[in-house]
Chain A
Amino acid sequence: MTGALLLLAGLLAPDATVPLPPVPHSPATWDLPSGKDPLRYVGVFFARGTVTDLKPTSALLDGQVTGRLFGPNGVTTDDDAHTYIEQRYLGFFDYSPTLLDGRATLRGAFEIDFTYGDLSNSTRPNAGGAINGDVVNLQTKRLAADVALTDDLRLVVGLQPLADSARDPARALPDDLLHAGGHLMFWGTDAAGVSLFGSWQRRAFARLSYFDLYLNQSDRDDDVELVMLDGALTVAASTEVGLHAWYLRDRSRGLGSPLGAGPASKLAAYNGTTPLSLGPDRADADLYWLGVDASHNRWLAGGPLSFSGLLMLNLGTFDVIEGSNRSADAPPFDDTDADLFAFLLNLEAAWRWGRASGDVLSLELLYASGDDTPDDRTVSSVVTGNAYGVPGALHATHRSLLLFPDSRVVNRQVAVVYDPGNLGYGVTAAFLNGSVDVIDETLTLKLGYALAAAAAQPVDGDRFIGQEFNGEILYRPMPFLWFGAHAAIVRLGTFLEGRVNDDPLPDGRPWVGYLSMTWVHF
């Protein structure tokens, strides 16, 4: 009652005026800053010094190897520790001419990989040394024009990021690509093409893209083309559902990269992707992906829990063509078409148990189908971009360093399971990661565990691939600059025995440790 009376007394008091210097009013813009810099730049510097028992044995690649550990790329282990240092710089610049009021932007990006004292990106005889640094190693990563057709629709033409998402990767946040859409598990690289990106009130996204992954001889129908149609819709608070339909037309018959391209190529064997064993013969492929994904609170900010899931069906046919280099002792040509039917399921859950960004416990489960006879013409494991690029996909949420590919690399990226196709056997995997910010947003400690088994039972071996224990310390002494110390050790199962060509599987336990520095500047 007293409060009500006091309230009433306050209401009855008169309004009043006191003098203060007058504030001039003007009809100027309410936008700040009013002038936008037409040229914007973001750079990423990364360096790491590594010690590991991984040992590259390929004289051709001179240590700079990607792909499957103990595979035909020649990377194995021994009892010694090997060291190397390497660095990478990525520069992204956008130029939006003032004349066009931001309706058109040129997007460019370059990459400089510098490896101290050995080859740079396998371009012999381009071996340089740290002392002089005379290594030509500039790569073009992005060169695209981004034009606003309407307020909601943008056309992107040229070399651009290729991701399995409805969002434009050049504009998306990392969490939107890693925990939604295809999670970058199928496509995560750069490619030349044309894309149409639609965005409506930041709640609905759609894209239609065409990429020419390999244009071999322009007068022949020997290209690899990819068409992607994706949509993403916000269906509830912080909750999004996506649909994906992609078509890949592969008429390269193995042409493309130096190792070829596609499931029937050597590249597939190097990367441990889904194989198609045709001996001397080739195939024209028509592959389809149909997928659905859902995510809730993927930024892990709208609440303490986040979930995401992805189900991708992979269908297709391989029209087998007689190879031109068949030897006399080759088996008779078999024109039986090969069929692909496979699927992948990925589920993630995370709990931010503390206030800081690093106070997170996460669990990820992965199942990718496979079969026990990958050498036949019934293909039951998924095909990803890793069958066409090095790498072509970028599964990074597992945070494993050796059992699955580490994303913090320069030119050496080797893992026991490099691709969910896993030699055609598929994979069942679990990843558990827990971290704590000892100093909020400054010092993070992380421990991780990864476990992997083949989805299908090999005829001559066990399904258990291995398990990894890893740890990480990240220290951020200043904004957007991190120093890291990382280590992992893998205990191998027996799955790889019998799948290492003619070499015996080493007894050693693969391990790696490295110090890193990452600096993002703009």
Chain B
Amino acid sequence: MAAKGRLAWLALAALALVGCHRGAYERMETLRFDQLTTPGTMRTARVGDVDVRYFEAGVGPVVLLVHGLGEHAGYWNENVPGLLEKDVRVVAVDLPGHGASDKPHDAPYTMGWHAAVLRGLLDVVAPDEKVTVVGHSMGGQIALRLALTWPDRVKHLVLLAPAGIERFTPGEGVWLKQVSTTATFLARSEDELRAHYRKNVFGAWSPAAEHHLEERVRLRRAPDFRPYIYAVVRCIHGMIDGPVADELPSLAVPATVLFGADDGLVPNPVLHGGSAADVAAEARRLLPRARVDVLPGLGHMLQIEAPARVNAAILEAAR
């Protein structure tokens, strides 16, 4: 064989070898939901028919941390140490369908149901205390529902890039539910997830962001990954079907609302465009007594991107 021919075959063979590439995290060992990095050892409360996992530590006024869609208690890892140093009692929950909590098939996954579960959890961890509820994204909408339904249990709301303030028309809601399928979420490759995380979810990429991407990819073959994706889709439906915006003027609980100026998810970039400042303006209109700030340079994951700033808001509310 001529030298050129050998070179060509070598090049093809090399290409075939690199073609065996799979994503860096897809090649790693599968992660189980009970192996996710959390702020500390997780505990279990039986709320109704659901085992709810949560982290609890500290002494002082209770701060309940409620994560967003598809997330888990570990999305507060950057915040918990700083909060514990300031004499508060931190409770970080894995919402049903998320993290290591139960992922029941026939649960309603409505915002009201999630709020009821949190109310049940509060009856366990702080039965006689009004608590500060911190909700991120979907967790913000659940926190709002909790405060609207049981204002006597909530001392202060801290809402981080909350869902529920941006409105969706009936047609937009139907469309969002049509395109939010389990098949779509299940099929996402590592590259596609990385693209989504970098463009829409995190304002600035960081080791923490990379860690959450790794966890999400390595969960793909976890035994209860399909129930998790199912719960995520049901929660999307729950957010759409359980709007809170019209009820906000009647909210009796003080609130602090923070948005990242570079949020890639709020407002919905496909349906609405505009910026988080637009949603913040709506929040100011709906919650005239609330403190509403738009933080420059931050994306959707405020608590991870600026933990000190978020902790300051939480501690101010909790005291």
**Interface residues, chain A, with chain B CB atoms under 8 Å away:** 2-3, 6-7, 9-11, 13, 15-28, 30-33, 201-204, 233-238, 241, 243, 297, 299-303, 355-357, 439-442, 476, 479
Contact = CB atoms under 8 A, between A and B. Distances in A.
Contacts of A10: 40, 43, 55-58, 89
Given A19-B120, A30-B227, 18 more contacts: A9-B58, A10-B89, A15-B46, A17-B46, A17-B124, A20-B49, A23-B106, A23-B107, A33-B181, A234-B19, A236-B21, A238-B195, A300-B199, A355-B203, A356-B269, A439-B273, A479-B270, A479-B272
11 contacts: A15-B45, A23-B50, A23-B104, A30-B105, A203-B22, A233-B19, A301-B195, A301-B196, A301-B200, A302-B194, A479-B271
B45 A17 contact: yes
Nearest to B25: A237
A301 B199 contact: yes
B105 A26 contact: yes
A26 B106 contact: yes
Interface in B48-94: 48-50, 55-59, 81, 84-85, 89
Contact of B198 (A23, A25, A31, A301): A301
Contacts of A9: 57-59
Nearest to B122: A18
A356 B105 CA distance: 37
Interface stretch (B154-162, B184-192, B240-248, B305-313): B184-192
Interface string B161-205: 000000000001001011011110001011110111011100101
A474 to B, nearest CB: 11
Given A7-B57, A11-B41, A357-B269, A20 B48 contact: yes
Contact of A234 (B21, B44, B81, B85): B21
B19 A204 contact: yes
Interface residues of B, number: 73
Query: Which 6 A/B pairs are nearest by Cβ-Cβ distance?
Result: A20-B48, A10-B57, A442-B273, A233-B19, A441-B273, A301-B195
B198 A20 contact: no
A235 B16 CA distance: 9
Contacts of B81: 3
Nearest to A27: B105
Contact of A6 (B58, B199, B230): B58
Contacts of B253: none
Contacts, number: 174
Contacts of A2: 84-85
Contacts of B55: 10
Given A7-B84, A355-B264, A479-B271, A241 B48 contact: no
A24 B299 CA distance: 38
Contacts of A201: 22, 189
A294 to B, nearest CB: 11
B280 interface: no
Contact of A442 (B178, B189, B274): B274
A263 B81 CA distance: 72
A520 to B, nearest CB: 12
B229 interface: yes
A37 to B, nearest CB: 9
Contacts of B178: 33
Contact of B181 (A6, A13, A32): A32
A25 B106 contact: yes
A19 B116 CA distance: 11
Contacts of A28: 105-106
A94 to B, nearest CB: 15
B234 interface: yes
Contacts of A440: 269, 273-275
A6 B49 contact: no
A19 B46 CA distance: 8
A22 B57 contact: no
A19 B191 CA distance: 43
A419 to B, nearest CB: 30
A237 B274 contact: no
A3 B89 CA distance: 11
A309 B24 CA distance: 24
B295 interface: no
A442 B274 CA distance: 6
Given A32-B230, A203-B189, A302 B195 contact: yes
A441 B269 contact: yes
B106 A24 contact: yes
Contacts of A442: 273-274
A143 B226 CA distance: 36
A23 B22 contact: no
A30 B182 contact: yes
Given A18-B123, A233-B19, A236-B21, A32 B47 contact: no
A234 B203 CA distance: 26
B233 interface: yes
A300 B43 CA distance: 41
B104 A439 contact: no
A19 B48 contact: yes
A297 B192 CA distance: 10
